[in-house]
A and B are shown apart, each in its own frame.
Chain A
C-alpha cells in the first residue's frame, strides 16, 4: 500500500546528509572517502529499513551504520597497507579540499593526531549534538568509556594546540579565575 521509501523518509535521509558528511569528513580526514562512506551508509540504511524502529532517533541509527562502515573499511585498508604497491600511500597524499578549510588547518591536523576512538567520541558529543548515552550506544561501549574518551580527547587537543599556554599568557585569566571562583 505505502510506497517505500516514503517521501518523508527520503527527506529525512537527505536532511541527515550534512551531519553525516561533517562526521565522516572529520573522522576520515578525506572528503572523497567521506562521501563514499555517506553513500554506503544511505544504501545500507535503505536495505535495512525494516530494522529501524520508528520513533527512535534516525540520526543516531545512521551514525551507527556510518561508524561501523568506517571501522570495517579501516581494518580492510590496514591490510592493504601491507601490500607493497604503494597505492595506499598515494591516496593518503590526495588533497581533497581547497581553500575554505585553511582557517581550521591547525585544529584539523590536531584532531587527526587523536586516536580514532577518542576522535569519534569527541565528534559525537562535542559537535554532532549526541548525549553521552547516545554516543555510547552508537559506539557500542559504556557511557563511562565515552566520557573518559571525550576528556582525553579534549586534553590532548588542548596540549597539541597550546590552548593552555594562551590562557596562561592571557591578561584576563586572573579575572576569569576570580569570576569562576
Chain B
C-alpha cells in the first residue's frame, strides 16, 4: 500500500453555536480522519435540524480534563460556602428581574 490506512479514526469533540451572539456549546463527539472531515460530518450529524450557525471541532486528545478521583478536593470545599453566591443583596424593585 502506498499510504497506510488508518485503522481507527481519531475522536473529535463538536461544539455548535445555535445563533449569533451565543456561545458555542458542546453537543457531542464523532470519529473522523482529519479536521475538515470532522467539520463536514458534524454538519451532517448535529446541524441538520437547524441547530446551528457555526461549528467548532477539537481533537478530543487535546482536551485536558479533571480526574473524577479529584472530586473531593476540587469541588466539595465549595459546597458549604454559600456566601460566595451574591444572594444576600436586596435588589431594588426598579431593577426588575436579574
A binds B: no
Interfacial residues, chain B to chain A (CB-CB below 8 A)? none
